[in-house]
């Protein structure tokens, strides 16, 4: 296993010296305000308006048919707050930052659009599963699941050689992402995310801690929310990655855990994950994320849970969007 000290030092230094392009100061302040139920609308609106480009992106997404299905256009930040609510606007603010990041020029070989597609899928799967399981504040799981990818985005933006080595090693050895990440860096993906959250001073609790994996399912409310976020992130990473026996086995172990956490049947969980995938594709249209970045490999091992889940995702995508072989 690699020594984590060098990575921690390099990443912390990069974040301190170059706070962009992960989460700009304006967005970090807005996310903090929107995470506080005692914040008032004028204060939040004023914070957003400090950054013209950020304001424009927030209003663009708020006016998309994904969030705003009424006829009247949202023209001010105050309107966006009143019509969408704090939690939804926080989702929009986070998504806007991630969407802007993928537009930036990064080293060759780093496909941030594909990474964003995976993160958006995890976010929608977490909120979809959470709502079906009637978890408290299930809508907030979108932001928590999306923010869990912060560490991966930070490595891609600031330490691309490390990011590419993880990707190459994962493909070469067929290991799951979390295991490969630990092998290459000496730290888990969640630990890197925690480094980023601390460096850019995001509010405590916006990224949920890892659950206790030896817990008795379904666990208490906090554990169920934590498990739902982290399991859907692992699931999204799994289906977006190259297949190997270890990858197939990982998903086979993950699905019963997610079913136990949510107290839903395996069949229901599979359907919800596929629905979350399609919702993510719809959302992607409104953050300039082309559907090609959501492509999955349909030629997976038959009679496996991974094959069944990917097949259902592709089936629903084709049913909703008429996407054929070009998407796979």
Cβ-contact 288, 217 below 8 angstroms: no
Q: How far, in whole angstroms, is CA 270 from its chain's centroid?
A: 18
Going by the DSSP 8-state scheme, the letter that residue 242 receives in this structure is: P
Q: What is the pLDDT of residues 258-274, one digit of tens each?
A: 999 999 999 999 999 99
Query: What are the tens digits of pLDDT across the range 124-150?
Result: 999 999 999 999 888 889 989 999 998
- b/e burial code for range 139-175 (CB count within 10 A of at least 16 → b): ebbbbbbbbbbbbbbbbbbbbeebbbbbbebbeeebb
Whether the ω angle into residue 170 lies within 30 degrees of 0, i.e. cis, is no
Selection from 185, 85, 96 nearest residue 139 by Cα: 85
Q: How far is CA 34 from CA 89, 99, 232, 328, in A?
A: 8, 19, 24, 38
pLDDT at 193: 92
CATH code of the domain occupying 4-18+106-265:
1.10.3210.10
Residues in the chain predicted with pLDDT less than 50, given as ranges, are: 325-326, 328
What are 225-241's pLDDT values in tens digits?
Answer: 999 999 999 999 999 99
Q: What pLDDT is attached to residue 238? A: 96
Residue identified by tokens 């869990």 is 148
- Positions of CATH 1.10.3210.10 in the chain: 4-18+106-265
For residue 180, the model assigns a pLDDT of: 96
CA dihedral 83→86→237→297, nearest 10 degrees, is 0
């Amino acid at each position: 296993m690699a020594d984590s000290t060098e990575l921690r030092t390099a990443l912390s230094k990069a974040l301190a010296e170059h706070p962009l392009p992960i989460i700009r100061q304006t967005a970090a302040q807005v996310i903090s305000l929107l995470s506080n139920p005692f914040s008032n609308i004028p204060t939040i609106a004023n914070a957003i308006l400090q950054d013209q480009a950020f304001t424009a992106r927030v209003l663009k997404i708020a006016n998309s048919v994904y969030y705003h299905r009424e006829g009247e256009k949202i023209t001010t930040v105050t309107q966006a707050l009143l019509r969408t609510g704090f939690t939804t606007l926080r989702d929009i603010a986070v998504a806007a930052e991630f969407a802007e990041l993928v537009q930036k020029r990064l080293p060759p070989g780093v496909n941030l659009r594909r990474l964003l597609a995976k993160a958006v899928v995890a976010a929608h799967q977490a909120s979809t599963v959470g709502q079906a399981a009637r978890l408290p504040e299930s809508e907030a799981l979108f932001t928590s699941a999306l923010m869990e990818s912060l560490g991966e985005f930070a490595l891609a933006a600031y330490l691309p050689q490390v990011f590419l080595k993880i990707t190459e090693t994962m493909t070469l050895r067929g290991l799951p992402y979390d295991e490969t990440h630990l092998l290459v860096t000496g730290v888990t993906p969640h630990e890197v995310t925690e480094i980023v959250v601390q460096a850019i001073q995001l509010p405590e609790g916006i990224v949920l801690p890892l659950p206790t994996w030896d817990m008795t399912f379904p666990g208490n409310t906090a554990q169920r929310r934590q498990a739902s976020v982290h399991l859907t992130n692992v699931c999204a990473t799994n289906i977006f990655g190259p297949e190997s026996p270890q990858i197939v086995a990982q998903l086979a172990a993950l699905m019963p855990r997610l079913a136990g956490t949510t107290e839903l049947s395996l069949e229901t969980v599979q359907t919800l994950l596929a629905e979350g995938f399609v919702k993510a594709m719809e959302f992607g249209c409104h953050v300039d994320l082309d559907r090609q970045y959501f492509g999955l490999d349909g030629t997976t091992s038959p009679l496996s849970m991974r094959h069944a889940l990917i097949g259902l995702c592709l089936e629903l995508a084709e049913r909703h969007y008429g996407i054929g072989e070009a998407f796979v």
